[in-house]
Structure 1
Amino acid sequence: MLVPIDFIALLLAAVSAYYIRFSDITAEIRPIIFSLPFEQYIKIAMIVAFFWLTIFVLAGLYNIKGFKKITGEISRVILACSTGLVAIIIYMFFQRELFSSRFIILATWVLAIVYVVIARVFIRWLQRNLYAKGIGTHKAVLIGSEETTNRLSALMHQSKKLGIEISKRFKEINNKTFAELKELAQKRKIDEIILADANISKSEMLELYDISDEFHLTFKYAADLLGAKVLKTEVMEIGGIPIVEVLKTPLDGWGKIVKRIFDIIASIILIVLLSPVMFAVAIIIKLDSHGPILYLDYRSGQYGKKFIFYKFRSMLAHLCDGEGPSATEEGNKILEQLEQNESLNTRKDDPLHKIKDDPRVTRMGKFIRRWSVDELPQLFNVLKGDISMVGPRPHMTLETARYERRHKKVLSIKPGITGLAQISGRSDLSFEEEVKLDTYYIENWSFSRDFAILLRTPLAVLRRRKAE
């Protein structure tokens, strides 16, 4: 259904751009110096629309699984339309006989993004309403411990947009479970199996997988930390023996280059746009309390490399903790005391601390922390190449020294100003949950995912502010 809707949206964008260009208002502003009959134009527009649909296919916009988040879909639409625009510009450079109206081309590009996004938002709205009425949902069997299945079941019930309806739950796996699954599958009462127990045996896992194969059911499982690490693999054959290579991250080769180019461009643009805000914050910090404007500390970058990290100072200058230039002995002593206070340290058992209602924070510090304004100077870290726009949270060197071996995966790429953990929607994530999300991001990086995370970051900040 999406293909014809996208085709109509693209044609509508082209027609709208044509009539805007040939309208009296636009013609008065910029006189028309070319001739292009509508009949000829619409033929060209249809050919271009078909070509753009091909780009949409290559961009994964017709993935059967669809997109979980609208931001991911929007970013992919923008990238696909932009690729189409570049292709047209290149074609026009070599074939001048097409037509030379830059206005029509740029207007079509903008309107195509707008119309396609509106159409897809409408489709999502329609789909969500149908799912709420039980139309088109996937009936699933949930297998796992009572605590995990209860949590997943509640989340799926609340999030109707997933389109999953839990038909039955199994707390344990045995021969009776397998028999019931086969019976439900034979009667076409289930569409997928969701395994939420990471501790089952290999033989039980294979049996469930074989049942899903036999009855053409979708098979899903909730990955533990190790499972999240090995989502991307490549298989090669040596002497008839399949050898599986675990692919660490797509952020190798061109992926790393694309990400760095984007970081440079994005950081420069944001520094220019936000410079008045940063200047105002700097003045207020100086007026609010004695001490420097910036807080400088050491953080662990890619492969654990130490670098100086910039933030607006949010604490009293003589009570700042850490290892860097801004740290004080008194501040570190107070931090040790706060870490031992179970009512204040919400992450007492984790490698890193998280102090609630830290008494060292100034009045202005509370405000800039609440709105994440204290992190704006990190844009200069991005420009320098210390960190990226998107990535795992940059932790203090004292904290990363406490990492267990399985946690060090997050140091395999540059940290970021924002990331998957920060926009997850929860402020009470444990360190282990953060590592899982960061591991997933590392193994499944894509430029469109970075773009989606950046789009969701302001919304996440607002959501946290409302929660307070």
Structure 2
Amino acid sequence: MRPEGVKLLPWLVGAGDLLMIAAATALAIRFRVSLPIFDTAGDVLENSVLASGFFVATWLVMLAFFGAYELDVFGAGTEEFKLVVNASFFTGALVATMAFLMQYPLSRGFFVLLFPIGVLMLLIGRLVSRRIIQRFRVRGHFNEKVLLVGTPGYIGEIHTVLARESWLGYRVIGCLIPHDYAGLEVTSTGIPVLGFIDEVRAVVDEHRPDVVFFTAGAVSSSTQLRRLAWELEDYANVQIIVAPNVTDVSSERVRIRPVAGLPLMHLGRSRSQLATNDAKRAFDLVGALTILALVWPLLLAAMLWIRLDDHGPIFFRQIRVGREGKEFTCFKLRSMSIDAEQRLPELEGRDHVLFKEPNDPRVTRPGRFIRRFSLDELPQLWNVVRGEMSLVGPRPPLPSEVEQYEDDMLRRLNVLPGMTGLWQVSGRSDLSWEDTVRLDLYYVDNWSMVQDLLILARTVTAVLASRGAY
């Protein structure tokens, strides 16, 4: 049986949606009455207020109908945001159709304002609720007990991922293994063995997991998996998850097509080519120019501080490797002392090819501040304008780092490097080299514009929280 806290999640998220829709309705009414672009109308306020209750109720019903309150969509992936957008568009179409058929004098200005504002506020609300849910999960709340089923090797791989991504809310309580491993009491990753695979029903009766997770090595045939699922069909509150032998593939590239009783998984091609299209380039150009227009006073103040601190150069120029191995000059605000390169031997060791010292004595006073909030990277907006970088992408590597790349790592060079990326919003310098590579390769193979927008939104919170910034 799922914990009571988990069952409350749809209601809590629904309360947040109600608040966002109500606020959007109030803003739409306010702007409709006050903005000079709309004609005045004496009955606009009265008609809009009367209709707003119906709009709010219909919107919430459509969100529920589209599955936006299913437990599986909370906390991870882009499916939640797609459902919100789809339900919102359907609600708008339904409201417009009913107003036309019933000849209700609905203000067109109110209608035009309500749904764009409402969709934006709903997405913001869902993003905030996701961050809150993930933080609670990391602290041990809203977690679901997971029973892993399979061979010790595959169980270890899945357990490593679930332990690393604790914000997913899965807490492994034990595992079931084949008879071939009789005598094993604890796996190499520390998971207690609760029994054998064919004892799944008895183990579920005793330990009451919320999720039974079948790994790639759990069964020897589809018939065995079907029989195991039959044994669990009486447990309505136990969710069954089957992990295929495929990792780091986004839902956009996966299509399940049942053929003759076989659930065939079709994997789409890598989306790295789409990450270099004209739409992304236009988004980067407009976004970079907009950000520059907003932050130029802050950028100017940081430049003056750097100059006055030690009278050295303001900018730090460094050769980096871009798309298809082309080198370019990357601009940053100088955050280290003028003799930083000469003092490099003072520091100890490197973490593989990625290196950053949390207490680097070469960092200047203004450097510590601008690094903490990533202000040193603002000049890279000029690299974005020049087409050498993107707003979102893999970390731009040094030529010396690229020389040490293995074949798989070279795929990072299939797209433009980014000012921010999955590596930054997932921990920045706190990440190991292996995790940085894994996240960059995932981004390259599974690019989407929705993912870029989510990364940009997460970047704001990562920068403000100064996670991994030094």
Q: TM-score, normalised by structure 1?
A: 0.68
Residue 16 (1) aligns with residue 26 (2) = yes
User: Given the alignment of the two structures, is residue 423 of structure 1 paired with residue 421 of structure 2, yes or no?
Assistant: no
TM superposition shift of 1:74: 9.1
1:296 is matched with which residue: 317, 321, 326? 317
2:425 maps to 1:406: no
Q: State the 1:51 CA deviation.
A: 8.3
In the alignment, what sits opposite 1:460? 462
**Contact 2:332-2:378 at 8 Å conserved across structures:** yes
SS in 2 for 1:452: helix
Instruction: Say whether residues 1:228 and 2:236 are aligned partners.
Output: no
- Of 437, 445, 448 in structure 1, the residue corresponding to residue 447 of structure 2 is 445
1:384 match: 386
| Residue 189, structure 1, aligned to residue 193, structure 2 | no
Q: Say which of 137, 143, 146 aligns to 1:140.
A: 146
Q: Does residue 366 of structure 2 align to residue 364 of structure 1?
A: yes
State the alpha-carbon separation in 1 of the partners of residues 293 and 213 from structure 2. 48
Q: Deviations over 1:345-383 (max 9, x none)?
A: 340xx2333345444433332332232111111111122
For 2:73, what is the secondary structure of its paired residue?
A: coil
Q: 1:345 aligns with which of 323, 328, 349?
A: 349
1:32 is aligned to: 40
Partner-residue secondary structure (3-state), 2:75: coil
AA aligned to 1:183 is A
- After superposition, the Cα gap between the structure-2 partners of 1:62 and 1:368, relative to the gap in structure 1 and judged at 3 Å, is same
Is structure 2 residue 283 aligned with structure 1 residue 267? no
Aligned to 1:179: 198
**What is the deviation of 1:287?**
2.2
For the residue of structure 2 that corresponds to 1:461, the secondary structure is helix
Kindly indicate whether the alpha-carbon contact (under 8 Å) linking 2:88 and 2:119 is maintained by their aligned counterparts in 1: no
- Equivalent residues in 2 for 1:301-316 (5 A)? 301-316=322-337
SS of corresponding position for 1:228:
coil
* 1:235-280 deviations in Å (ceiling 9; x for gaps): 8999xx9998753433545983433222122111110111111111
Q: Distance in 2 between matches of 1:35 and 1:278?
A: 49
Which whole-Å CA distance do the structure 2 matches of 1:428 and 1:310 have between them?
23
C-alpha contact (below 8 Å) 1:316/1:361 kept by paired residues: yes
Q: Give the CA deviation at 1:292.
A: 2.9
Which residue is equivalent to 1:106? 113
Distance, in Å, in 2 between the alignment partners of 1:62 and 1:437 is 28
Q: CA offset at residue 442 of structure 1?
A: 2.9
CA contact (8 A) 1:149 1:169 kept: no
Q: Which residue of 1 aligns with 2:306?
A: 285
What amino acid does structure 1 have at the position aligned with 2:329? I
Verify the 8 A CA contact 2:335 2:376 in the aligned structure 1. Answer: yes
Find the aligned partners of 1:310 and 1:82 in 2 and give their Cα distance: 42
1:131 Cα offset (Å): 13
Aligned partner of 1:249 in structure 2 is 270
Determine the structure 2 residue equivalent to 1:65: 72
Could you say what secondary structure the match of 2:413 adopts? Answer: helix
| Aligned-partner Cα distance in 1 for 2:85–2:40 | 30
Aligned to 2:101: none
Give the deviation of 1:396 after TM superposition.
0.8
Query: Over residues 387-432 of structure 1, what are the superposed CA-to-partner deviations in whole Å (9 max), with x where a residue is unaligned?
Result: 2111111111220121111222222222211111211146431111
- Partner Cα separation in structure 2 for residue 20 and residue 43 of structure 1: 15
Q: What code does the residue aligned with 2:196 have?
A: T
Distance 1:16 1:281, change over 3 A: closer
- Give per-residue Cα distances to partners, 1:210-234, cap 9 Å, x unaligned: 56654465225598xx832698456
Amino acid at match of 1:305: K
Aligned with 2:384: secondary structure?
helix
Letter in 2 for 1:65: D
Match of 1:324 in 2: none
Q: Secondary structure at the match of 1:295?
A: strand
CA distance in 1, matches of 2:425, 2:40: 47
CA distances 1:106-142 after superposition (whole Å, capped 9, x unpaired): 25643564468658967997999999999x9644213
The secondary structure found in structure 2 opposite 1:65 is helix
* C-alpha distance in structure 1 between counterparts of 2:423 and 2:444, whole Å: 12
Q: Hey, what's the Cα distance between the residues in 2 that align with 1:288 and 1:132?
A: 42
Letter in 2 for 1:428: D
CA contact (8 A) 1:345 1:355 kept: no
Matched residue type, 1:258: A
Check 1:386–1:6 CA distance in 2 against 1; reply closer, same or farther (3 A cut).
same
CA distance in 2 between counterparts of 1:40 and 1:458 reads 35
1:328 matched residue in structure 2: none
Counterpart CA distance in 1 for 2:131 and 2:314 is 46
RMSD over aligned Cα atoms:
5.5
In structure 2, relative to structure 1, the CA distance for the partners of 1:22 and 1:422 (3 Å cut) is: closer
Whole-angstrom distance in 1 between the partners of 2:220 and 2:276 = 38
Measured against aligned partners, the alpha-carbon deviations of 1:74-107 in whole angstroms (never above 9, x if no partner) come to 976896699789989x99xxxxx97665366325
- Please give the alpha-carbon distance, in whole angstroms, between the structure 2 residues aligned to 1:69 and 1:168: 23
Q: 1:397 to 1:191 in 2, by over 3 A?
A: same
Which secondary structure does the structure 2 equivalent of 1:227 belong to?
coil
How many residue pairs get aligned? The number is 432
Q: Residue in 1 aligned with 2:241?
A: 219
Asked if the contact 1:9–1:116 (Cα under 8 Å) also holds between the matched residues in 2, the reply is no
Q: Distance in 1 between matches of 2:131 and 2:425?
A: 21
